[in-house]
Amino acid sequence: MSLARAAGMTGLAFALLASSLQTPANAAGQVKPADIQQAIDNVARTDGVVGVVGELYVDGRRKGQASAGTRLIGGRGGRIPPGSRYRIASQTKLMEAAVVLQLAGEGRLGLDDKLGDVLPGVYGEGDDKITVRDLIRHTSGIPDSGEAGKFDVFDFTTPYKPIDLVKAARALPQGELGQYRYATTNYVLLGMIIEKVTGHDRAAEFERRLFAPLGMKHTYLATKVSDQIKGPHGHGYYPDANGRPRDVDRLNATSYGVEGAISTAHDVSAFFRALNQGKLVPSELSKQLPRPFPELCGGTVSSASGGLPGISSVTFSSADGRTQLAMAATLKIDNEQAMAVGDAMKQAAGAVLCPGR
């Protein structure tokens, strides 16, 4: 089964408006642990969910955590520990965008630099016009490598290099420059740019610039076939050609490019708190971050979500960065069916962060 069917889409939204009603931080401050448990239980009742974890933070302090379902399919393995690690999938892209914008703020990279100048000979077609800004915004016209059908969801052993994903995308019909076209390949190329400019691998730059400064002690970047989730955690499953769910806990990080961060609700909340409070990206560059429409509480709460085979994760964060609700659900369905799980998470977040709306 190819990654084209399995590829998860991300939604990134940031708060733009103030609300005249109760702020998310005030509302969340009144939430009881039982409210978090009820919200997570509601997500766990959605078809296709194996297990769910979630935590609520206000001003960096945990206000509640919950777990529902089980670690393994069929009710086996007991509950997932609430503080377990999970794959945050495309939420990793926003971390990478933050690193790129930091480099731009340091003068080591220009947003209008051409792809062909920064990575000569790597992509080819149109790289004399595609800019770093286009890659960040998904307006390069470059297709997603998963559409090539060359990567198998259940191949847990073949190591791929970033250039392999780029070549797969290069063989596909190109889109129009300037038009939005979501493609992980854009961020594969940004990852290569980070390594070219800094002389360090992406994992080292993420650790130095994000994970260590923000106290994200349980977060790391999976970049190798052997990089798996450490410690007790929930297993995800994906249907094979016969519709039978197969364990994809050994997901091959190298075939998914840049979606490899493995984190916890605590750590990913710390990232979004810092990002929304302007502590990571220079203010004059923050407008370059992807900004789809805010989703909850009258536009004062945004979400960043990610999906890979067997996992759906989302972090809701208030505009002022004071409040975060991070959730992750392990699945036994494909990503199209998982859309209902995303809707359930949004409803659960709304009940917690903006009651009465």
Q: Is the pTM of this model over 0.85?
A: yes
Q: What is the pLDDT of residue 167?
A: 96
Give yes or no for a contact between 206 and 198, defined as CB atoms under 8 angstroms apart: no
Please indicate whether residue 54 or residue 20 has the higher confidence score (pLDDT).
54
Give yes or no for a contact between 286 and 278, defined as CB atoms under 8 angstroms apart: yes
Please indicate whether residue 194 or residue 293 has the higher confidence score (pLDDT).
194
Q: What percent of the chain has pLDDT over 90?
A: 84
- Reported as a single tens digit per residue, the pLDDT across 204-218 is 999 999 999 999 999
- Reported as a single tens digit per residue, the pLDDT across 249-293 is 999 999 988 888 999 999 999 999 999 999 999 989 999 988 645
Q: What is the pLDDT of residue 3?
A: 59
Residue that has been written with the tokens 């740019």 in this structure: 193
In this model, does residue 11 exceed pLDDT 60?
Answer: no
Task: Please give the Cα distance from 114 to 352 (Å, whole number).
Answer: 44
91-105 and 265-276 are packed helices; what angle lies between their axes, rounded to 10 degrees? 40
Single-letter residue type at 248: V
Burial level of 61, CB count in 10 A (0-12/13-18/19+)? exposed
Please indicate whether residue 296 or residue 29 has the higher confidence score (pLDDT).
296
Paired tokens of 12: 């990134």
- Report residue 22's pLDDT band, with 50, 70 and 90 as the boundaries: low
Mean pLDDT rounded to a whole number for the chain:
91
Q: What is the pLDDT of residue 19?
A: 33
Paired tokens of 75: 């009710």
In this model, does residue 21 exceed pLDDT 50?
Answer: no
Mean pLDDT across the stretch 98-105? 97
